[in-house]
Amino acid sequence: MTMTKSLSDKIMTALRRHYADVKPNLRYGSRYQLAVAVVLSAQTTDRQVNAVTGDLFRDYPDFQSLARARAADVRKIIRSTGFYRNKSKNIIGLSKAVMERHGGRLPGSREELMLLPGIGRKSANVILSMGFGIPALAVDTHIIRIANRLAYADSRDPLVVERALTAFIPERHWTAIHLILIRHGRTLCTARKPLCGRCPINAYCVSAGKIR
Which pLDDT score, from 0 to 100, does residue 124 have? 98
122 in catalytic set: yes
Q: Which of 5, 62, 122, 157 is catalytic?
A: 122
Which pLDDT score, from 0 to 100, does residue 185 have? 97
Which pLDDT score, from 0 to 100, does residue 179 have? 96
- The CATH number given to 5-22+137-204 is 1.10.1670.10
What is the value of pTM for the model shown? Answer: 0.93
Which pLDDT score, from 0 to 100, does residue 24 have? 92
Distance (Å, whole) CA 104 – CA 68? 13
Four-residue CA torsion sign, 65, 70, 73, 79 = positive
CB 178 within 8 A of CB 141: no
Q: Which of 140, 157, 193, 210 is catalytic?
A: 140
Which pLDDT score, from 0 to 100, does residue 57 have? 98
- Residue 94: exposed, middle, or buried by beta-carbon count in 10 A (0-12, 13-18, 19+)? buried
Q: What is the pLDDT along the chain (212 residues), one digit of tens a residue?
A: 789 999 999 999 999 999 998 999 999 999 999 999 999 999 999 999 999 999 999 999 999 999 999 999 999 999 999 999 999 999 999 999 999 999 999 999 999 999 999 999 999 999 999 999 999 999 999 999 999 999 999 999 999 999 999 999 999 999 999 999 999 999 999 999 999 999 999 999 999 998 87
Distance (Å, whole) CA 124 – CA 11? 26
What is the second-level CATH architecture of the domain 31-131?
Answer: Orthogonal Bundle (1.10)
CB 179 within 8 A of CB 22: yes
**Domain segments of the chain: what residues?**
5-22+137-204, 31-131
User: Closest by alpha carbon to 182, among 152, 137, 212?
Assistant: 137
Which pLDDT score, from 0 to 100, does residue 100 have? 98
CB 60 within 8 A of CB 43: no
Which pLDDT score, from 0 to 100, does residue 113 have? 98
Distance (Å, whole) CA 135 – CA 170? 10
